[in-house]
């Protein structure tokens, strides 16, 4: 890979990506692509976004040397990119701020979004409160139960939560319903997609807004270590936190890139969300990428303990990075993630979300007593507050006491 320059004008990352939506949405997607290309170069927009990043989100997020985990591993020197310290508790806010500024520029008055773990929903509700826009969040009814604290947060922020009862009642179905809403209300509505998934230009746009993570991490590691890292590790559901970290390093060929998917009860079982390990290329939610599907192309239900990774698709750019072998992808089971969730809490005093717990579990599994003198940056993209009830239940702790 010489100078990385994906996607092309039609939204292709290699063979993946594209715009597979009904004609009703096409004119708007083309308009969105044009508006985004224009605004990207607009200095006022960049200034406004930077000011919000610094003073509303609390950027730059620190790059923390996790000395205790490094010692425990007896392997590489581990750094956490601490996007869990952001306002709203995860990386999702980075993208929401970018998109809502764009929505305002395009004169849209109504915001919709899908959410799985609730982190993107909370971030969307937050920016809607900040800018005074009407906000509707689609959320699978299964996720509403397992992410109660975030549901209450969104309500406090003034969002309307729409429970989705179709299919597996989780992220995929929430996205179907949000797309249906968008087709109906295309004239006044802006759809803030939370991941690097969906039709072009979303995968590119979300990646660009999230790439602040990697831009900061790259500058910070050069100060702290005087060299680039040897490894990047991030969890991948749709893939936005991972693309945010990876993208600014794609031309640094000596940096190894590792994406960690949720393998649920095991990548070879039917209860998995490890799309790139267990899936095949297909089209879901507007783009061509790896998906979990049967031999007739019917999309399978995903399974993961982590609502944020519980998605049978993945962003097209990850499929391209896998295919071109620029990045490697591995699966981590629910059990392994839960163990890492506890270990990180005990060792570093940081309770991670279940999503980055998958990245941590891979670190514990693959780097123990290995890769000495190497440097790893792991994206700690969310904090664990929202997962306390889920984790307590799994670990047999009665939270009612």
Q: What is the binding site for another protein (CB under 8 A)? A: 10, 18-28, 166-167, 172, 176, 179-180, 183-187, 282-286, 288, 291, 293, 295-299
Closest CA to 231 of 82, 79, 63: 79
Which C-beta is closer to another protein: that of 106 or that of 186? 186
Smallest separation (angstroms) from another protein to the CB of 162: 14
CB-wise, 21 or 305, nearer to another protein?
21
Closer to another protein by CB, 30 or 392: give it.
30
Strand order in the sheet with 110-115: 160-164, 134-140, 110-115, 189-191
Query: Which CB sits closer to another protein, 298 or 369?
Result: 298
Length of the chain: 401
For residue 237, count CB atoms less than 10 angstroms from its CB and return exposed for 0-12, middle for 13-18, buried for 19 or more: buried
Which residue number, 74 or 166, has a Cβ lying nearer to another protein?
A: 166
CB of 286 to another protein, least distance (A): 7
Minimum CB separation of residue 110 from another protein in Å reads 13
* Least distance to another protein, CB of residue 196, Å: 19
CB 160, min distance to another protein, A: 19
Q: What is the dihedral of CA 113, 17, 234, 111, to 10 degrees?
A: -10
Of 1 and 26, which CB lies nearer to another protein in the complex structure?
26
- Check residue 395 and report its DSSP letter: T
Helix axes 148-156, 119-131, angle to 10 degrees: 10
Min separation Cβ 10 and another protein, Å? 7
**Closer to another protein by Cβ: residue 38 or 184:** 184
The nearest distance, CB 99 to another protein, in angstroms, is: 20
Residue nearer to another protein on the CB measure, 172 or 326: 172
Structure tokens belonging to residue 223: 């100060």
Distances (CA, A) of 383 to 21, 81, 200: 34, 12, 29
| Smallest gap from residue 136 Cβ to another protein (A) | 16
- Contacts by 155-163, CB closer than 8 A, 24 or more apart: 157/122, 157/125, 157/126, 157/128, 157/129, 158/125, 158/128, 158/129, 159/121, 159/124, 159/125, 159/128, 159/135, 160/134, 160/135, 160/136, 161/121, 161/137, 162/136, 162/137, 162/138, 163/139
d(CA 323, CA 338): 30
Q: How many CB atoms lie within 10 A of CB 56?
A: 16
CB of 34: closest distance to another protein in angstroms?
Answer: 14
Question: How far is Cα 106 from Cα 257, in angstroms, rounded to an integer?
Answer: 36
Q: Which is nearer to another protein, 288 or 367 (CB)?
A: 288
In the complex with another protein, the residue whose CB is nearer, 13 or 249, is 13
Which H helix or E strand runs over 131? helix 119-131
Spell out the residues 6+ positions from residue 23 whose beta carbon is closer than 8 angstroms to its own.
Answer: none
In 141-292, which ranges are E strands?
160-164, 189-191, 231-236, 256-264, 280-284, 287-291
127: left (phi over 0), alpha (psi -120 to 50) or beta: alpha
> Closest separation between CB of residue 298 and another protein, Å?
4
Least distance CB 23 / another protein (angstroms): 5
* CB neighbourhood size of 283 (10 A): 15
Comparison of 26 and 67: residue with beta carbon closer to another protein = 26
């Amino acid at each position: 890979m010489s100078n990385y320059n994906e996607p092309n004008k039609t939204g292709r990352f290699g063979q993946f990506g594209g715009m597979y939506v009904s004609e009703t949405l096409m004119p708007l997607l083309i308009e969105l692509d044009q508006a985004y290309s224009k605004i990207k170069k607009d200095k006022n927009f960049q200034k406004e976004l930077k000011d919000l990043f610094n003073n509303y989100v609390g950027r730059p997020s620190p790059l923390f040397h996790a000395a205790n985990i490094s010692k425990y591993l007896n392997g590489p020197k581990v750094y956490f990119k601490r996007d869990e310290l952001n306002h709203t508790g995860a990386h999702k806010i980075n993208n929401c701020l970018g998109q809502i500024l764009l929505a305002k520029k395009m004169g849209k008055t109504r915001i919709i979004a899908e959410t799985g773990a609730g982190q993107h929903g909370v971030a969307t509700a937050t920016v809607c409160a900040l800018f005074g826009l009407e906000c509707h969040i689609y959320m699978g009814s299964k996720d509403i139960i397992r992410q109660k604290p975030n549901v209450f947060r969104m309500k406090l922020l003034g969002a309307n939560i729409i429970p989705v009862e179709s299919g597996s009642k989780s992220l995929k179905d929430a996205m179907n319903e949000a797309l249906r809403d968008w087709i109906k209300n295309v004239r006044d509505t802006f759809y803030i997609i939370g991941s690097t998934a969906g039709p072009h230009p979303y995968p590119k746009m979300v990646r660009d807004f999230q790439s602040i993570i990697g831009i900061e991490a790259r500058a910070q590691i050069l100060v702290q270590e005087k060299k680039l890292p040897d490894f990047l590790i991030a969890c991948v559901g749709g893939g936005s936190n991972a693309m945010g970290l990876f993208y600014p390093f794609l031309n640094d060929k000596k940096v190894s890139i590792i994406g960690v998917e949720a393998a649920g009860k095991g990548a070879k079982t039917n209860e998995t969300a490890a799309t790139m390990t267990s899936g095949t290329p297909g089209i879901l939610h507007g783009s061509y990428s790896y998906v979990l599907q049967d031999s007739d192309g019917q999309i399978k239900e995903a399974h993961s303990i982590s609502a944020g990774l519980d998605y049978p698709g993945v962003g097209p750019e990850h499929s391209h990075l896998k295919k071109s072998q620029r990045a490697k992808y591995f699966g981590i089971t629910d059990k392994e993630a839960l163990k890492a969730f506890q270990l990180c809490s005990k060792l570093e005093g940081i309770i991670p979300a279940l999503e980055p717990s998958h990245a941590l579990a891979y670190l514990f599994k693959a780097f123990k007593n290995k890769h000495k003198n190497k440097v790893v940056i792991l994206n700690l993209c969310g904090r664990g507050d929202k997962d306390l009830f889920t984790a307590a239940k799994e670990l047999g702790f009665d939270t009612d006491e």
